[in-house]
Structure 1
């Protein structure tokens, strides 16, 4: 079996202060959590290596770079994140990773929380649990709000669909479909309005299906 390719630099063990950046999407710009904001803070904190990860918020454990960072870190290194929710969205996972790192002699530094090392005592542990519990609660609230928003749009917006946003507005599409129904060919409509024939066929099918449903009612 071929060895899995590492996501970290080949000389990873030679770095002392490793910054870890994570965002849920490339466009996340709120609360100082963008890649740029986090990178700037970690540079000021003196990191000599910064690793970045982008992942969806659907699965809290889906962080291959962070997981490898935890496993491959060695005694004397310091792992740094800007906020406690960048280190973990889950109290259980947060404690598991924290205790594993400290057991290896790796220091964890969270800029909005503090430095955690071999002096990690019961008071530090309690505070860490409280902070990660709040981070987990906030994360779950965001996921629930997004899901409620999708459910509302799905029920009330006839133009809503899952996945990437449609390239062409409903008004533009409807204008082109009107021209096709008046006799313009799909090929000519595609050329004149820079919309693929495949899209026009699909949207015309949707229009006729919706019209059939209305007639049935």
Structure 2
């Protein structure tokens, strides 16, 4: 089955231009919302609807995904379902060797972009630290930690309950548990 996915950013925008370009599809899924993320009702319905052998067709990649990361994640979902992807504007068709290659190029560019962002971030932090401007995030403090930690150690509450009571992330809770354990070992 040939599935058309159409997206416009607002209720007031028209979809006809995209629908005309996708005239040879069997079924449409049309979202009228921002493409800033993949949390879109019709996109999710379409991803649930497609079956092995189907083809998802879009007018352009920007109508399907706004970021390379989202694009690659969506294509991965389709690939796992044995569904091909076609973008008319970019002439991308994942059923062809050149289409798969172009998708690989998109993936490589996304990875390069992520690595460059991380590198710039590390460099910026190093410069800020050398100037004494970077101290990291403020430490999460909860005056009830000792009491909640004791309840958790005694098995009166679960870790999930302790985390909820503290309003901390799981990582913060276990980091503090580790710190406390090391501190207690040093004392003994």
Q: Distance in 2 between matches of 1:112 and 1:35?
A: 16
1:108 aligns with 2:85: yes
1:116-136 alpha-carbon deviations (Å, 9 max, x no partner) = 137477732244348989xxx
Closer/same/farther in 2, CA of residues 63 and 131 from structure 1, 3 Å limit: farther
1:36 aligns with 2:16: yes
* Correspondence for 2:95: 117
Q: Any idea what SS the aligned residue of 2:30 has?
A: strand
Closer/same/farther in 2, CA of residues 128 and 71 from structure 1, 3 Å limit: farther
1:55 aligns with 2:33: yes
How far does residue 60 in structure 1 lie from its aligned partner after superposition?
A: 1.9
Is the CA contact (8 Å cut-off) linking 2:37 and 2:70 kept in structure 1? no
Q: Any idea what SS the aligned residue of 1:74 has?
A: coil
How far does residue 72 in structure 1 lie from its aligned partner after superposition?
A: 2.8
* Correspondence for 2:65: 88
Q: Distance in 2 between matches of 1:100 and 1:24?
A: 23
Q: Distance in 2 between matches of 1:121 and 1:82?
A: 15
1:98 aligns with 2:78: no
Q: Distance in 1 between matches of 2:96 and 2:34?
A: 33
Question: Where does the alignment leave 5 or more consecutive residues of structure 2 unmatched?
Answer: 112-188
Q: Distance in 1 between matches of 2:110 and 2:18?
A: 19
Question: Where does the alignment leave 5 or more consecutive residues of structure 1 unmatched?
Answer: 1-15, 29-33, 134-217
Aligned ranges 1:134-213 → 2 under 5 Å: none
Is the CA contact (8 Å cut-off) linking 1:23 and 1:53 kept in structure 2? yes
| Count of residues paired in the alignment | 110
How far does residue 55 in structure 1 lie from its aligned partner after superposition?
A: 1.1
Q: Any idea what SS the aligned residue of 2:6 has?
A: strand
Q: Distance in 1 between matches of 2:62 and 2:30?
A: 15
How far does residue 36 in structure 1 lie from its aligned partner after superposition?
A: 1.0
* Correspondence for 2:48: 71
* Correspondence for 1:17: 2
Is the CA contact (8 Å cut-off) linking 2:93 and 2:99 kept in structure 1? no
